[in-house]
Amino acid sequence: MRKYRIKQIDAFTDRAFGGNPAGVVPVADGLSDVEMQSIAVEMNLSETAFILPSEKADFKIRWFTPKKEVLFCGHATVASLHALAEEGEFGMDKEGEFSFKIETMVDILKVSVQKSAKHINIILQSPEINLINEKMDEEKFSEALKIDIQDIDHSHPIMRDKTLNYIYIVLKNLSTLKNVRYDYDKLESFGKEYNITGFTLISTETFEKDFEVHSRFFSPAYGIKEDPVTGSAQGPLGAYLIVNKLLEMSEDEIEINSEQGDIMGRPGRLIVKVTKKEEGCFTSQLIGEARTVLNGEIILN
């Protein structure tokens, strides 16, 4: 009989039952791909993270939805670092700031943890951002979303982040965003036709006055009807807002207060820190907290 510690952690929130829940297996050595997929199915969360040894970085993380493995997951990475800091792993048995390199399927990513007696803040580097204009059948897309094509704000282009094949679409107002009740099968079919793995819908109207953007994220390709707070989508989202002048960047760096999940009853909050590099390129960091809500063991026969 084999036992593995497992946690359920709500990411991008400062309270339990908010943000995006993720499963975390802090020590996943010895688990096969089939077992990791089975655990993700058993947890039935949008993603479960498995922390493994790495020869290239401080450690490796793999992420599985109940349907399949994903290239990168932001909220489950924040949850993973929260779990490691909470348990005092990798030298985090004391207060301070700690930096790590994480091996992932997309790149070696940098992450920092700020640990005090009351808070654990995670600062996560997003994967490379590569935004391009997207051409697609908007009528077919609108039909899948069950919205009028005029609900799309055509003053801002639809763009794709080529790293993860997510697309970004601005809707005209928060009311339209709230009322999206899409057709899962049609959107899944549309995504397959255009090789889109995630759909990010954006409104610059927000629930809280101190925030700049609200978003929703759908990913039928990964079996996710809707994600409460999508870390992997937030980095390119920040860059999208700057590129399309939805927000003004007075210097080479800006912190964007981003919200997601309210429409699902799981409010999530984070800061997206966007930095402008040479030749108009952008990098992003995600800054957020998390809360552990379940602590236990998975027993494998």
> Would you name the residues annotated as active-site residues?
47
Rounded to the nearest angstrom, the gap between the alpha carbon of residue 42 and the centroid of all alpha carbons in its chain is 21
In the chain, the N- to C-terminal Cα span, in Å, equals 5
Fill in the amino acid letter for 23: G
Which letter does DSSP use for residue 16 in this model? T
Residue indicated by tokens 């989508």: 233
Q: For residue 137, how far is the Cα from the chain centroid?
A: 26
- Nearest C-alpha neighbor of 100 from the set 116, 82, 75, 118: 82
Amino acid at 213: V
Looking at this protein, which amino acid is placed at residue 166?
A: Y
What does DSSP say about strands 166-170 and 198-203: parallel, antiparallel, or unpaired?
A: parallel
5 with 39: CB under 8 angstroms?
A: no
Containing H/E element for 177?
helix 174-178
Q: What is the DSSP letter of 144?
A: H
- Alpha carbon 270 to chain centroid, angstroms: 11
Alpha carbon distance 169, 216 (integer Å):
10
Residue 28 CA: distances (Å) to CA of 5, 50, 56, 262, 296: 9, 6, 17, 32, 14
